[in-house]
Structure formats: C-alpha cells, structure tokens
C-alpha cells in the first residue's frame, strides 16, 4: 500500500517541476531570513534568481555539521522563535550538540512522512506499533510516535530501556510492528529467549530499524531469529529525524527517499563534485519544505548510492542503498575511492560471512598498496592450503572486479585483543606521517 | 576407523609454533604425529594428539583458530615398496590423496601413514577389501 499515492508515484517530470518550485522558494527564504546563508550566497556571488533549473543546485553552498555548531543554538532558524513549536538536538559526542527547530507545519509534515514510512513497511491503522526508539531530545521516539498517530495505528510509547518489561508488554499487547535500533531488536530477542518466549510465536511481523548502521547479514539474522520482515529506515536529526527514507516491504531493496520534501545528491566527498546516479559517494540533502530550519546541500557524511529506477512497489521515488559507511572513513588508493564498507561487503559476498578485517595501506616506490588482512575464523578455516589460497584468490579477484583496485589479501590469526576495546579498528594507513 | 586430527592456523612469524606446543605441554597433551604445511604468509599445523577435545579447547581459549578433520591412519611394513602398494590401491580405486604424512613406530618394523582423502569412506572400504591394516583412533591417540 501507498500512503500518499499522488506524491509517492509522481512521474519524474512532475516531481522535478515540484522540486524546482520548492527549491526556488527555499532559496528565497533562506537568503532573506538566515544570516549564515545570506553571507554564503554573497561570498559566492549567488543570487536566489540564479536558480533556474534543478541543475543550478550545484551553484549553492554546502552546509556542514560544523556550521550548525557555529550557530548554536538558534542561529540557523529561518523563522521568528515564537513560530518554533519544538526543539530536538543530537547528542554532542564529538562536540557541541546540534539543535533543530520545527514549526507546527514541520511537525505535521514529519508525521505525514513517517506515516508514509509505516505504510511502506506494510502497516495499516489496524497495527499496534511498539516504539522502542528513545523519547526526548533524540528525534527517533517522537518522530515515529507522531507518524503512527497520523496513520491511525496504535502506538505503544515504550521508549528505550527496561528490556524485561518491554518483552512482557510485547507478549501482552501483541504489537505487530517494532521500531528500534537493529541491535536493540537482538537484545529484545535474547531477553525474550531468557524469559522462555519465542518472538516467532507473537503477532510481530515487521521491524523498522534505524538510527545506527547495520548490514545485510544482520538483517538476515534478525529475520531468521524473530520471524519478521526487517526494514531499514533512514533519517538524521539535522534534516528532520526518521522518515527521510525507508525500504518498502515489497522489494526490500533500497530506501525510498521522500523526494517531494528532500532533494538528494551524491557527491565525491573529496572533490565535492556531483556524481551521476549509480555511483557511490556522500549523500547530500536539501530540505525543500522545512520552515524553521531549512538546510541547503547538507553534507550527511553518509556513503551510499542513488538509483532512480521505479520500484515494483509502484513508487517512483529515487532509492538509496543502505548506508555503506561514513565519508570520514574514505580511503584513496591510487586515485580510487575505497570505503571500508565496500571491502566488507565483498568479503561478505565472497565467503558468505563478515570476517574481521584490517586494511593496511602503504606507499611503496610511490605507489599505494592495499593489503586486506582477513582473520581466519573457524568458518573460514580449512586444513588444506589450496582451499585457503583459493579464498585469497577469490577475494583479490572480487576486489579488483568491483573496486578496480589491486589488493593483496593476507590471512591472519584472530586478534582478540583489539576487539575487546569495543569498536574494531579497520584501517591502518601507513602513508600518513606518524 | 577414522582418526580425529586437529589443525591450527598459524601466521608465518617467530614464536607461533612454540606457543602451540607450550599450550599443549601445559595441558599435558602429547603429540602423536604432526605435519606442517606452509606458504609464504601462513601455515597449517596438523596434529594427532592424545586428547583432541582437550587440545582444541585449550588452543581456542588462547585465541587460535582450530579445525578438526577426520583422517585415516594405516600401518605399512617398513620396507621398500610398502607405501607404493597402498598408493596403487588408492589410484586404482579412484581415490585422491589431499595430503599425507608418515612416521616410523618405535619398534621400527612398521610405519604409520596418515591420509586425508577426498573420499574418506571409499578409501576405508578399499583398504578393508585389500587387507590393509587401518589403525583406529583410540589406538593411535594412546601409542
């Protein structure tokens, strides 16, 4: 089913006409009301009237997270403060937190977009939605909450934490949809097991998972264990919150972007050039309809690929591949952009498992070399040399075929020590001084 | 009639082999037979030990990747042509040897050859038909 049939199935031509109209109005608004943008436009010699086609978007400046920090807390607002009805903020783990404001209309639009997401996931007003996203300054909880109410479904605003109680309520209330981070879904599964409850026996049929990167392997794991369809949802607080894009339950392939509200581009994170559809790069989003805090060409740092092929679910909106990593992790090896997540998916495809790996980059005789160290675990291990060498060869070939980079693959013993520190270190770049 | 062999993945750097033998010694596991296959980067140490469960557990706890494979051990008279007779049986029966290693018993009258086959059960059947003495695991572990 499709929630907003008109907007989600617009022919591309009509969609682009709508986007252009909204973009022109947006540029006028930020130029008139946001000092930061007026200054930037003036510095670059761009006037709102220069935007005549969607391609003129590239004339406009980028916005970075640091710009939001520099104008903390309310310096990026495009409306008077009294028109702002809600504030959200991201956790400031790497500096000051970033603040987002919403007008009444922003909040209503967000609810409608989240309702679209629920319907794309297969949900209807008959469903009970167990919302384990955190409520509060974080956008996840309230974002999903308002969307569920907009749809007319029943929302259980359980928020995060209290896992045992969550499991009990899942058993008693019989929710059909779970909203949480993918890792929390597995925590719930394990807690249910401990309590002697098999989630497969409950009415739960769909999981809408986001707010952290996850892999196809994790999806399969969750789907097998819980007997549900697991879907990826995307959003970020600076742009709005959850609901920027979601996978449909029909194709489960790529996240449909709500293009009537968000104009998306993929750029080369190094050169900032716009890349054609299909190429991997950084996702850049322009908020077409946001009133309180619109952003022009916001650099998400998320790495993905854009496809404009209509989906068999009927939606005509562009889809992005599940986020493959962060642009901060990008490596340039002999001029080719390589993301650790690409190597990870090749390893996953090659042997059907996601081994622990380390990418070692060196410069030998003025040439960059990439060594992929793959830990040999019991699933990969064989007592026959030729089988291990065949695996090495297959990985080398697949990296060459997919990425165009010649890598050396080295099988190594597991390194338990590095992993105990939490997040595994994936890159060792010996080209840099120090 | 099969023998359980453990195999250990080793990076090609100093001290790794010693680490394995140290762990086995500490756990009072005896090595009955061994072979080491190597490439420029890594090696595979294959061992038949007095207690493979215990050895595997101890090595895994110390961070090694350990595999287990069923192999076949046969006893051959220690004289010229002894091994050739066995290999003839195998090649006529269409069984391929993945790898093998041999050692001479203390009595020095017979040698024991450990085989890893592509078709293990077929090989055992062939040996049975031709009257070749296959050594059960329990005997080998307690040699």
Residue A434 pLDDT greater than 50, yes or no: no
A410 touches chain B (CB under 8 A): yes
For residue A286, give every residue at least 6 positions away whose Cβ sits within 8 Å of its Cβ, in sequence order, or none: A23, A26, A57, A60, A262, A263, A264, A265, A295, A296, A297, A298
The Cα A85–Cα A90 span in angstroms is 17
> Is A434 contained in some domain?
no
Q: Provide Rg for chain A, Cα atoms.
A: 23
Distance, in Å, from the CA atom of A301 to the CA atom of A285, rounded to the nearest integer, reads 11
Given an 8 Å threshold on Cβ–Cβ distance, is B67 in contact with A383?
yes
Residues A123 and A155 in one domain: yes
Whether pLDDT at A416 is above 60: no
In a domain, A31, yes or no: yes
Domain assignment of residue A12, yes or no:
yes
Q: Which residues contact A142 (CB under 8 A, 6 or more apart)?
A: A86, A88, A135, A241
Altogether, the residues listed in chain B come to a count of: 143
Same domain, A239 and A266: yes
Chain B nearest-CA distance from A176, in A, is: 42
Q: Which residue range forms the structural domain that includes residue B49?
A: 3-69
> If you average pLDDT over every residue of chain A, what do you get?
92
**Nearest by CB: A414 against B16, B44, B65:** B65
Residue A103's pLDDT is 98
Q: pLDDT value at position A418?
A: 56
Q: Is any Cβ of chain B less than 8 angstroms from the Cβ of A390?
A: no
> Does residue A419 carry a pLDDT above 60?
no
Say if residue B63 is in the same domain as residue B81.
Answer: no
Query: Around A360, how many Cα atoms within 13 Å sit in the side-chain half-sphere?
Result: 10
Q: Is B65's CB within 8 Å of A382's CB?
A: no
Q: Which of B36, B38, B41 to mutate to test the interface with A (most CBs of A within 10 A)?
A: B41
Q: Do A137 and A247 fall within a single domain?
A: yes
Contact of A348 with chain B, judged by CB distance below 8 Å, is answered with no
Nearest CA in chain B to A412: B11
Whether residues A303 and A401 share a domain: the answer is: no
Given a cut of 50, whether residue A249 has pLDDT beyond it is yes
Q: Cβ B44–A376 below 8 Å, yes or no? A: no
A136 vs A350: CA distance, rounded Å:
42
Is residue A152 located within the same domain as residue A268? yes
Q: What is the pLDDT of residues A79-121, one digit of tens each?
A: 999 999 999 998 655 567 889 999 999 999 999 999 999 999 9
- Structural domain count, chain B: 2
Look at residue A206 and tell me whether its pLDDT is greater than 80: yes
CB contact under 8 A, A385 and B9: no
Domain count, chain A: 2
Query: Does residue A372 lie within any of the structural domains?
Result: yes
For A267-270, which contacts have Cβ atoms below 8 Å and span 24 or more sequence positions? Answer: A267/A299, A268/A337, A269/A299, A269/A301, A269/A303, A269/A327, A269/A330, A269/A337, A270/A330, A270/A332, A270/A337
Residue A238 pLDDT more than 60?
yes
- pLDDT tens-digit series, residues B26-72: 999 999 999 999 998 899 999 999 999 999 999 999 989 999 999 99
Whether the pLDDT of residue A417 is over 80: the answer is: no
Query: Which of A383, A396, A418 to mutate to test binding with chain B, by most B CBs within 10 Å of its CB?
Result: A383
What CATH number should be reported for the domain holding residue B85? 3.30.2130.10
Predicted TM-score (pTM) of this structure: 0.74
- The shortest CB-CB distance from A385 to any of B5, B37, B66 is to B37
Ramachandran category for residue A201: left, alpha or beta (phi over 0 → left; psi -120 to 50 → alpha): alpha
Q: Where are the beta strands (DSSP E) in A115-192?
A: 128-131, 154-156, 177-180
Tens digit of each residue's pLDDT (9 = 90 or more) over A331-366: 888 888 888 888 888 888 887 665 678 899 998 877
Distance from CA of A434 to the nearest CA of B (A): 25
Q: What is the pLDDT of residues A64-80, one digit of tens each?
A: 999 999 999 999 999 99
In a domain, A412, yes or no: yes
Residue in B41, B42, B69 closest to A383 by CB? B69
What B85-88 contacts at long range (C-beta under 8 Å, 24+ apart), as own/partner pairs, is B86/B113, B86/B132
Q: Does the CB of B129 have a partner CB in chain A at under 8 Å?
A: no
A137-160: average pLDDT: 96
Single residue among A313, A328, A343 that ends a domain in this structure: A328
**Domain boundary residue, one of B26, B42, B69:** B69
Residues of chain B in contact with residue A388, where contact means CB-CB under 8 angstroms, are: 42, 44
Determine whether the interchain pair A381/B99 forms a contact, defined as Cβ–Cβ distance below 8 Å.
Answer: no
User: What pLDDT does residue A21 have?
Assistant: 98
Which candidate in B5, B9, B19, B101 is best for mutational testing of the A interface (most A CBs within 10 A)?
Answer: B9
* B79 and B65 together in one domain: no
Residue A266 reports pLDDT greater than 60: yes
| Percent of chain A topping pLDDT 70 | 95
Residues B13 and B54 in one domain: yes
Q: Chains A and B: how many Cβ contacts under 8 Å?
A: 49
Q: Are residues A196 and A321 in the same domain?
A: yes
Q: How confident is the model at residue A422 (pLDDT cuts 50, 70, 90)?
A: very low
Distances A259 to A47, A275, A278 between C-alpha atoms, Å:
24, 18, 17
Chain A residue with the nearest C-alpha to that of B45: A383
Clarify whether residues A102 and A126 are in a common domain: yes
């Amino acid at each position: 089913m499709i929630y907003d049939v008109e907007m989600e199935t617009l022919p591309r031509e009509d969609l682009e006409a709508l986007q252009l109209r909204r973009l022109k109005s947006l540029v006028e608004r930020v130029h008139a009301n946001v000092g930061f943008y007026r200054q930037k436009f003036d510095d670059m010699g761009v006037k709102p009237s220069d935007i005549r086609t969607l391609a003129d978007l590239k004339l406009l400046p980028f916005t970075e997270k640091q710009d939001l920090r520099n104008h903390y807390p309310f310096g990026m607002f495009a409306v008077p403060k009294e028109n702002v009805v809600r504030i959200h903020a991201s956790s400031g783990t790497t500096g000051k937190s970033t603040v987002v404001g919403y007008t009444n209309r922003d909040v209503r639009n967000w609810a409608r977009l989240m309702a679209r997401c629920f319907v794309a996931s297969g949900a209807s007003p008959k469903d009970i939605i167990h919302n384990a996203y955190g409520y509060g300054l974080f956008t996840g909880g309230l974002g999903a909450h308002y969307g569920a109410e907009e749809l007319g479904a029943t929302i259980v605003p359980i928020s995060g934490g209290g896992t045992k109680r969550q499991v009990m309520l899942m058993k008693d209330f019989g929710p059909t949809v779970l909203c949480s981070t993918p890792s929390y879904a597995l925590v719930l599964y394990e807690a249910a097991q401990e309590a002697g409850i098999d989630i497969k026996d409950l009415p739960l049929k769909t999981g809408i998972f986001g707010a952290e990167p996850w892999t196809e392997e994790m999806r399969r794991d969750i789907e097998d264990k819980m007997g549900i369809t697991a879907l990826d949802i995307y959003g970020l607080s600076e742009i709005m919150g959850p609901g920027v894009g979601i996978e449909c339950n029909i194709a489960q392939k790529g996240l449909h972007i709500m293009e009537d509200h968000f104009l998306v581009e993929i750029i080369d994170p190094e050169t900032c050039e716009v890349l054609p559809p299909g190429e991997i790069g950084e996702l850049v989003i322009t908020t077409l309809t946001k009133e309180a805090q619109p952003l022009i060409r916001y650099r998400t740092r998320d790495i993905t690929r854009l496809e404009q092929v209509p989906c068999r679910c009927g939606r005509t909106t562009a889809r992005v591949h599940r986020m493959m990593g962060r642009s901060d992790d990008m490596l340039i090896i002999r001029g080719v952009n390589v993301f650790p997540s690409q190597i990870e998916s090749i390893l996953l495809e090659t042997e059907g498992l996601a081994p622990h790996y380390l990418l070692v980059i060196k410069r030998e005789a003025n040439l960059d070399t990439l060594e992929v160290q793959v830990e040999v675990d019991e699933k990969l291990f064989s007592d026959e040399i030729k089988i291990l060498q065949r695996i090495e060869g297959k990985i080398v070939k697949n990296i060459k075929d997919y990425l165009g980079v010649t890598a050396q693959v080295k099988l190594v013993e597991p390194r338990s020590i590095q992993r105990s520190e939490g997040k595994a270190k994936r890159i060792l770049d010996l080209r840099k001084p120090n | 009639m099969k023998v359980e062999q453990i195999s250990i993945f080793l990076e090609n750097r100093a001290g790794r082999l010693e680490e394995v033998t140290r762990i086995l010694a500490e756990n009072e596991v005896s090595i009955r037979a061994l072979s080491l296959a190597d490439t420029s980067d890594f090696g595979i140490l294959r061992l038949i030990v007095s207690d493979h469960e215990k050895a595997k557990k101890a090595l895994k706890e110390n961070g090694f990747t350990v595999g287990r494979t069923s192999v076949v051990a046969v006893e051959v008279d220690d004289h010229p042509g002894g091994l050739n007779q066995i290999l003839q049986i195998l090649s006529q029966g269409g069984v391929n040897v993945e790898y093998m290693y041999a050692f001479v018993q203390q009595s020095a009258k017979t040698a024991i050859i450990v085989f890893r086959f592509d078709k293990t059960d077929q090989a055992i059947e062939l040996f049975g038909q031709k009257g070749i003495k296959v050594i059960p695991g329990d005997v080998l572990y307690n040699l």
